[in-house]
Chains A and B, each alone.
Chain A
Amino acid sequence: MTASTDVPEKDANGPMLAADGTPLKKSLSRALRVQKMRALALVAPLLIFVLVTFIAPIGDMLFRSVENQIVSDTMPTTTAALADWDGTGLPPDQVFEDAYYDLFVAAERKEHTRLGSRLNYEQTGASSLFRKSGRGLDDIGEVYQDQFEDLDKNWDEAQPWAEMMGSEDWLAKEAAWEKGSRLPKFALRDGVEELLPRTAAQYAIFAGYTHNEERKSLLKEEPWSAVHTALYQDLSTQDVSGYSGPHAEMLKAAAALVASPDFETVSFKDGFGEIDKDWLEPEIWQTLKLYAPKYTSGYFLNSVDMKLTPEGAEARPENERIYIMLFKRTLFMSLVITCSCILLGYPVAYILSNLPARKANLLMILVLLPFWTSLLVRTSAWKIMLQQQGVINDVLVWIGLVADDGRLTMINNQFGTIVAMTHILLPFMILPMYSVMSTIPHSYVRASKSLGATDWTTFWRVYFPQSVPGIGAGSILVFILAIGYYITPEIVGGTTGTFISNRIAYHISTSLNWGLAAALGSILLAVVLILYWAYDRIVGIDNVKLG
């Protein structure tokens, strides 16, 4: 091979060519692509891990803070109907009717109490209102169910209903169904939808529920009372005299019953009022209307001490405001803790970095020692140390600095939280400081002194500026850890030393208001990101070194 075939050649006016004649650029990008693919393959496990365990949960959390589908999913027709309501006074009767059918199905599915819990975050009392209504709604339907049943036993039987409502084709399949196989999809009989629109719709819902969730045959399951209510409504408006399908006589008799003056009826509104008079107040309907959309800003408003009202966002009453104050306190205390860590950690890191490696390693073990004991134990130890009958107070009383009846309160307040958290987070400050300081050559200090600088000037003008990246890294680490700390403030924080994270934990595990917890968490995340960004702008993230 001669040298000339190895070297990329350039045509008189063409692109650079590789040895095999392909354009050099193409050849290069192919070579690089292989490299990139290999690099990607190497990071893929971690990337997938991070995506699955970190990015996805965070995304899920961000989503929960606005998600509100439970309202419209549980009460679809009601929320649609409420959209047209102007929000003053009571909603029109149609809304009560929709609410009856929606809630009836929700109660069967045991979803109404969930919705009640959800709405209770916005309106006190919604929880028991919905729980109560789940049982009470049966009373409305039973008024009709009982009368139809008294007229003809068949109205409370599964088979006649199925024959009346279902198509012949479907009936045949349903009858042939055996346990274990797929249930045939319910199909309405021709014409029944026009004749008995509400009944058909309600029966279809019942059919879907029985088939899909109960996995039972419609020939065995008698419909629930909402279907009877719908039948009453249909019979009072529709003319069934022309009907000639199955059980025509039974239907016509029922129509006659409905038409008779003795037939007992309950208006939906009265029925709801019977269950709980709160249903006759506009408030619950306004709340439903307000939280009908699939996505809500309500949680975020709650997290900044505001609330959603029909008139828009409003500040909460003074005696319920807590979150802004907690955010401020969390930031302030994290800052104090970070500063304490710098003050206490800097000299330690300095000494460590100036010791011979063997001694430094030994002392480093002492620095890391706290990591080897459980967080709970360390925090509880501080409790014993700092409490009024604790070690420190005992010593102070013993040496006479403090009177026995004037023992210092050092725990269950901000002071206790700051002390305990500074202790716990100190290693996170010392380690990056140490690793940065141990890379600062000793000759800088010597150079500075040889140039005539005093010890202090040397430290302040030469050593300190070079250790700043370590302080920066340690501070970011400690601050971000502190801002999300939860166990220690919970144990030693009392009332004035708790953090926003304690509220988040409360909403996750006790009040179960995960949406609010997610909103608070999202805000906390945003604050951290903003601070990080600000740090980058002011100090420069390149100036952060972990070693």
Chain B
Amino acid sequence: MKRTKTLLATTALTVAAGAVSAQDMANDMTLVSWGGAYQTSQTKAYADPYKEMHPEVNISWDESSAEAVAKLRAMNEAGNITWDLVDVVAADAIRLCDEGLAMEYDPEELLAEGDDGSSAEDDFGDMIVSDCFIPQIVYSTTFGYRTDMVPEGADAPSDICSIFDLETYPGKRSLEKRPINNMEWALYCDGVAKDEIYDVLATPEGQDQALAKLDTIKDSVVWWSAGSDTPQLLADGEVFMGSTYNGRLFSVIEEQDQPVAMMWDMQVFDLDGWIIPEGLDDDALARVKDFVKFATDTQRLADQAAYISYGPARESSAPLVGKHADLGIDMAPHMPTDPANAANTLLYNYEFWADYRDDIDAKFQAWLAQ
């Protein structure tokens, strides 16, 4: 097959290029990320040590990951790519790959072997959900709740379906203003078996069923669109429970000491990682490859967990996860991938949502607006 041959050819070529001295690498690199605590963790775990090794390199950050797909498309149309490495969620990586905006890569050539000697491809395993996607972390979208708002006599909520139980757990909930995750939870709590959720959701009846379930709590929902919304709503006591990224909840609970607890049940795993934009010139590409190889090795990924409670995407990194850099607490129990937390989980179905996103989103928005 032709593709493998081309890949082999490029491998050979880049192996040759790897031998070339560092002078052929560009010294300026623009990384795109999400800002906030997450970007800080990347700076501390990847960028700072890399700069120590290569003092000649200038790394600048652009906090544009939320609009990365649109901006990359615009850059591509304008024929001027100004980014070198872009942090995106897996779904966006797939779209960028589909659109030909992200570069396909060979894990064995680009990524370092695991510390335990496993090949990069094995070490990352299923996390490489697209030919362009270089996984970094596993995060999850899950619920947190105010411990002081649990009604007297009721148990603390531990089941995802308590979201839909207004009788036992009255109060406002915050949910993301998009169908993804919410539809799955709704179907699950409406009695659909976990492994049938996407089959059901693919049918118009299943979509109606999910919306009908959401309809039962619609009046009690505050819809969020920015990741910082739910933490703020929880901290202000505006909502009883709300979904957000687990790292945000960690910061509310452990760093801000708010009376908030995690409810890991049916957390939705998602991945975040790098993509290399298509069309970089050789110097820039060489530098980016060098950086990526370093930044995604076993130790670096484990290091990142010292700053934020997201799980490293490499299997070999898991045992290396240590304590939080400032708080000094053990980070392993706060990882979404920790066995205690991951008793009942759902993995984001990228392919399903790539297909159904527009369709279901239209219905979801129409339902919201009713």
Residues in A lying within 8 Å of B, measured CB to CB: 108, 110-111, 113-114, 116-117, 120-121, 124-128, 131, 138, 142, 222, 224-225, 319-322, 325-326, 329, 384, 387-390, 412, 490-491, 494-496, 498, 503, 508-514
Contact = CB atoms under 8 A, between A and B. Distances in A.
B308 interface: no
A282 B172 CA distance: 46
Nearest to A498: B369
A494 B222 contact: yes
Contacts of A412: 222-223
Contact of A389 (B99, B237, B362, B365): B237
Given A490-B225, A494-B222, A120 B362 contact: no
A269 B363 CA distance: 34
Contact of B362 (A125, A322, A491): A322
A124 B366 contact: no
Contacts of B362: 320, 322
Contacts of A513: 358
A495 B177 CA distance: 8
B355 A388 contact: no
Interface in B51-94: 66-67, 69-70, 73
By Cβ-Cβ distance, the 6 closest A-B pairs, closest first, are A113-B98, A124-B359, A509-B70, A495-B368, A322-B366, A125-B355
Interface string B91-127: 0000101111000000000000000000000000000
Contacts of A388: 172, 238
Interface string B349-370: 0010011111101110111110
7 contacts: A113-B97, A113-B98, A120-B354, A320-B366, A389-B237, A509-B70, A514-B73
Given A412-B223, A509-B67, A512-B69, A131 B369 contact: no
B222 A319 contact: no
B366 to A, nearest CB: 4
B28 interface: no
B265 interface: no
Interface of B: 1-2, 66-67, 69-70, 73, 95, 97-100, 172, 177, 208, 211, 222-223, 225-226, 236-238, 351, 354-359, 361-363, 365-369
Given A509-B70, A511-B357, A116 B98 contact: yes
B98 A319 contact: no
Contacts of B363: 319-320
Contact of A387 (B73, B236, B354, B361): B236
A107 to B, nearest CB: 10
B355 A124 contact: yes
A498 B359 CA distance: 20
Given A120-B355, A120-B358, A127-B354, A111 B100 contact: yes
A329 B99 CA distance: 34
B98 A127 contact: yes
Given A322-B366, A389-B236, A117 B95 contact: yes
A363 B123 CA distance: 65
A110 B100 contact: yes
Contact of B100 (A114, A131, A322, A389): A114
Contacts of B1: 138, 142
Nearest to A220: B9
A389 B234 CA distance: 11
Contact of B238 (A116, A126, A389, A494): A389
Given A120-B358, A124-B356, A512-B70, A322 B365 contact: yes
A224 B366 contact: no
A512 B355 contact: no
Contacts of B98: 113-114, 116-117, 127, 131
Given A124-B359, A389-B237, A114 B369 contact: no
Contacts of B177: 495
